[in-house]
């Protein structure tokens, strides 16, 4: 259970449920892969008094839909499918029509928005109206990996539950359970790259990111003047990487740079900090931009190599 992984957040939620007046909007904030979405589901079920794990008519989800009818058919057939990049205003309005009526089974209803960071501007503005004038008995749980991307007016109307990364030992135990057949080296690399996020470690193994990780680590100690390592990075990325793999590569580069920064004294951060900031910007742009995969991986490699050149000079 995600609640068991985050006892402090769960304790705050339980206390709020038992209080005289429950706040109508909650922001579940923390790095991706910590189980905030599962926590939101468990919190919503506690809110409406749901038993078991099945669908509940008073728990509504706003999340990414399949990209188009073709992808919807893949989903219906139980096959991997591609998602839309954003939560749309039409989705928000559909939920708003639902919440004009009373809850179905009790006097409370939960709306889970996951991830709230990925709402279109119009969708965010539409949701804001519901947060400003919430229907009686309706409570909102907004899952956010990057709260800074949300409208300040949305953040100001929410009570925040913060989710901290797990210790490496805890992530390692979860990785051993999730991927018992994975090579020990791969599991260790997944834990190192995950930065306390079990979801990131699981994705690391599922997307076979170990080769990318090894080359990225080497780039931080080799400025790669002949572009050899960057060529290897592009080859490891693949000719037609999925969008998920591209986003994972950006997150992996950010994690590698963050780890290097933790091991470097403040006076010697130099281009490590610049490269980290640039990778963070790539991650913010990626959900809405159409990056050429080849150029993207070369940009990531160049940022890592630039940090290596600066460290070598120092």
The residue among 29, 51, 124, 20 whose CA lies nearest residue 40 is 29
Question: For the residues of 23-64, what is the DSSP string, one character each?
Answer: -SEEEEES-TTSSHHHHHHHHHHHHHT--SSS--TTEEEEEP
Tokens for 279, please give them.
Answer: 């990778």
3-state secondary structure of 131: helix
* 172 within domain boundaries: no
> Is there a single domain that holds both residue 230 and residue 145?
no
**Domain match, 100 and 43 both:** yes
Number of domains in the chain: 2
Query: Comparing C-alpha atoms, which of 277, 301, 311, 313 is closest to residue 216?
Result: 301
Which of residues 139, 162, 185 is at a domain's end?
162
Residue by residue, pLDDT tens for the chain (314 residues) are 677 789 999 999 999 999 989 999 999 999 889 999 999 999 999 999 988 778 899 999 999 999 888 988 888 888 888 888 899 999 999 999 999 999 999 999 999 999 999 999 999 999 999 999 999 999 999 999 989 889 999 999 999 999 999 999 999 999 999 888 888 889 999 998 898 999 999 999 999 999 999 999 999 989 899 999 999 999 999 988 988 899 899 999 999 998 888 887 665 677 888 999 999 888 888 766 677 888 899 999 999 998 885 554 44
Query: Same domain for 126 and 229?
Result: no
pLDDT value at residue 309: 57
User: Tokens for 226?
Assistant: 């002949």
Which value, in Å, is the radius of gyration of the alpha carbons in the chain? 21
Q: Is residue 297 part of a domain?
A: yes
User: What strand order describes the sheet that includes 59-63?
Assistant: 59-63, 109-114, 138-144, 25-29, 159-162
pLDDT score for 290: 73
103 and 7 fall within a common domain: yes
- The answer to whether residues 211 and 145 belong to one domain is no
Q: What pLDDT was estimated at residue 313?
A: 46
In a domain, 87, yes or no: yes
Distances (CA, A) of 59 to 9, 124, 138, 165: 20, 20, 10, 27
Domain that includes residue 83, residue range:
2-162
- 37: domain CATH number is 3.40.50.300
Together in a domain, 91 and 215: no
> Are 12 and 157 members of one domain?
yes
User: 79 and 147: one domain?
Assistant: yes
Supply the pTM of this predicted model: 0.82
Query: What is the pLDDT, as a whole number, of residue 314?
Result: 46
77 found inside a domain:
yes
């Amino acid at each position: 259970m995600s609640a068991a992984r985050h006892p402090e957040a769960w304790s705050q939620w339980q206390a709020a449920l038992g209080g005289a007046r429950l706040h109508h909007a909650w922001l579940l904030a923390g790095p991706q892969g910590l189980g905030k979405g599962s926590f939101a589901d468990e919190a919503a079920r506690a809110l409406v008094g749901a038993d078991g794990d099945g669908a509940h008519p008073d728990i509504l989800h706003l999340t990414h839909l399949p990209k188009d009818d073709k992808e919807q058919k893949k989903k219906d057939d139980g096959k991997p499918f591609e998602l839309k990049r954003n939560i749309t205003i039409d989705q928000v309005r559909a939920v708003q029509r639902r919440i004009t009526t009373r809850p179905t089974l009790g006097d409370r209803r939960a709306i889970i928005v996951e991830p709230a960071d990925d709402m279109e501007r119009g969708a965010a503005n539409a949701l804001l109206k519901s947060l400003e004038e919430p229907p009686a008995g309706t409570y909102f749980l907004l899952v956010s990996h990057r709260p800074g991307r949300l409208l300040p007016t949305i953040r100001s109307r929410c009570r925040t539950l913060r989710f901290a990364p797990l210790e490496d030992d805890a992530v390692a135990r979860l990785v051993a359970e999730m991927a018992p057949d994975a090579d020990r080296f791969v599991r260790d690399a997944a834990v190192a790259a995950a930065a306390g996020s079990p979801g990131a470690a699981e994705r690391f193994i599922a997307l076979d990111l170990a080769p990318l990780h090894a080359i990225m680590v080497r780039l931080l100690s080799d400025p790669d003047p002949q572009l050899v390592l960057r060529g290897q990075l592009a080859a490891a990325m693949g000719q037609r990487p999925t969008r998920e793999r591209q986003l994972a590569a950006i997150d992996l580069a950010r994690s590698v740079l963050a780890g290097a920064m933790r091991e470097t004294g403040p006076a010697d951060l130099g281009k490590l900090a610049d490269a980290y900031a640039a990778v963070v910007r790539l991650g913010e742009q990626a959900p809405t931009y159409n990056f050429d995969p080849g150029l993207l991986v070369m940009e990531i490699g160049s940022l890592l190599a630039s940090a290596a050149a600066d460290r070598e000079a120092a």
